[in-house]
Amino acid sequence: MNSISDISKTLPAVDITNYRDKNDILFRSLHKTCIVIDDDPTGNQTVYGIPLLTVWDVETLTDELKKKTPIFFILTNSRSLRVTEISEIYHKIAKNIIKASAITQRGYTIISRSDSTLRGHFSAEINAIKHSEDFLNTLTIFIPVMFEGGRITVNDIHYILDSGTLTPVNETAFSKDHSFGYTKANLKEWIEEKTNGNIQASEIASFSISEIRTLDIHSLSKQILALTYGTYCIINALNYNDLDKITQALLLAEKNGKKILYRTSSSFVPSYIGLSKKELLDPKDLFHNTTKNGGLLIIGSYVSKSSAQLKYLLSQADINNTIEIHIDQILGSNSISYLETIIAKADRHLKSGKNTIVYTSRKLVTGSDIDTTIAIATKVSMALVTLLKQISTRPKYILAKGGITSHDIAIKGLGMKRSKVLGQILPGIPVWEMGKETKFPKIPYIVFPGNVGTEESLYTLIQKLS
């Protein structure tokens, strides 16, 4: 473990130039649309006023490019899928983007957005895009920093910052993930590990924080232009000053013809499009109706941080407002009647004006391999979807905890096809406004990532919404 203050002392002074505004101007000058292909619904946790799509047919993509939409997200939820499904989906998305671009004569940039703690199908998703005709010769830039959640990269090592202390990600619970485990925190070595040695650590380039802080934009951009196609490159950054500056150099390289595919976490997106910072949302601006019904919280995430947040929330909540869904009952032969009981109880609570907490039992049930584990998770998630589809009471708001949970509830439970992210209610926690096609149009939908916040954040948010 390292102290953030000790590491900062070894680095050159931060360049405090306002590169964010410069990025806005430069991005607009490219006359391109930034398309963020997101592997779960939490990647919009740093942006606002941006469309979110759950379909990616040529007609839909053509419509967005015709409107010259500056940026939109495509939500794939691929983190919950099998590798065989992912390759097909990402290749299809890339193909459809290329077709839509040809129809509209509108250029684009692709950001493959994934988890800041390095969980996800890195190799399968990147390879599927790169095997499409427009991406055979590209530079791949890897930037997993997410400052809102304390994820930073220094000396090519990816850390989690908590209370001033830096812990390499391979020493955290995230590296022990049952589907996406890893052993390396050095990102060059991590890529080698995740590609089974097909990409060697020694072949991977990187930009250090010292280079970013001391070199001018044109020097940085020249170095990017000099990188050969097929190269993977790591970006180190301690804060948005570092990220905004190197992003300016990347945009300039694109303007000079460099073809770049990005694999990043959430902080890169606002930096790339030059999105100005926005204050946290005020709850009073979210509720446009006078419903006296309670809010609905659905907690499905099993990461340790989610479980700790749930435990704290339950210690403060009225036990009569909580509904535990037992996984063994969902996987059992009487799951239908069991769910009917849960749904009736949730309806009663909501109508009485109570905030209703529905959560899955905390014992993690896994299969013999990744595919069977994902199949179990899918069945549990579908039980939560059924609850949403069958409740008759419109909640004041819906909060979903965890990526897979929030995706399935929004799309399969509420029927979302296109919505808009309004902003963040707490750092790293976005609020969507559901589209008119959904079960509850205009309802505030809060996507609470599994790995964001402190132990008290979930409780704090509920108090804020009350």
pLDDT tens-place values along the chain, 466 residues long: 578 888 888 999 999 999 999 999 999 999 999 999 999 888 899 999 999 999 999 999 999 999 999 999 999 989 888 888 999 999 999 999 999 999 999 999 999 999 999 999 999 999 999 988 788 789 999 999 999 889 999 999 999 998 889 999 999 989 998 889 999 999 999 999 999 999 999 999 999 999 999 999 999 999 999 999 999 999 999 999 999 999 999 999 999 999 999 999 999 999 999 999 999 999 888 887 667 899 999 998 777 888 899 899 999 987 778 999 988 888 888 889 999 999 999 999 999 998 999 998 877 777 777 777 777 777 888 889 999 999 999 999 999 998 778 888 999 999 999 999 999 999 889 999 999 999 999 999 999 988 788 899 999 999 999 8
Kindly tell me the burial class for residue 164, based on how many C-beta atoms sit within 10 Å of its own C-beta (0-12, 13-18, 19 or more).
Answer: exposed
- Which ranges of 3-82 does DSSP label H, i.e. alpha helix? 4-9, 19-29, 58-66
Task: End-to-end CA distance of the chain: give it in Å, rounded.
Answer: 39
Pairing assessment for the beta strands 107-113 and 32-38 based on DSSP bridges? parallel
Q: pTM of the full predicted structure?
A: 0.88
Longest dimension (CA), the chain: 66
- pLDDT attached to residue 195: 96
Helix residue ranges per DSSP H, 286-441: 304-316, 327-330, 335-351, 370-390, 403-408
Class of domain 2-273: alpha beta
DSSP state, 418? E
**Beta strands 232-235; 398-401: pairing state:** unpaired
CA 334 to chain centre: 35
pLDDT score, position 303: 76
Measured distance CA(251)–CA(232) in Å, rounded? 17
Distance CA 424, CA 47 (A): 8
Task: List the domain boundaries for the chain.
Answer: 2-273, 283-465
Phi, psi of 378 (to 5 degrees): -65, -40
Backbone angles phi, psi at 57, to 5 degrees: -70, 160
Residues forming a β-bridge with 139? 260
- The token duo for 201 is 């650590």
| Consecutive H or E run containing 168 | strand 165-168
Candidates 3.10.450.40, 2.60.40.420, 3.40.980.20, 3.90.79.10; CATH matching 283-465: 3.40.980.20
- DSSP-derived secondary structure letter, 126: H
> What is the C-alpha to C-alpha distance for residues 350 and 293, in angstroms, rounded to an integer?
5
The pLDDT of residue 466: 81
The pLDDT value recorded for residue 243 is 98
Predicted confidence at residue 1, as pLDDT, reads 52
- Give the pLDDT score at 351: 94
Residue 100: phi and psi, rounded to 5, are -65, -35
> What confidence score (pLDDT) does residue 329 get?
87
Tokens of 448: 């609470």
Nearest CA among 123, 141, 126, 138 for reference residue 195: 123
Alpha helix locations (H) across 30-82? 58-66
Which are the contacts of 403, defined by CB distance < 8 A and separation ≥ 6? 40, 41, 42, 77, 79, 80, 301, 449, 450
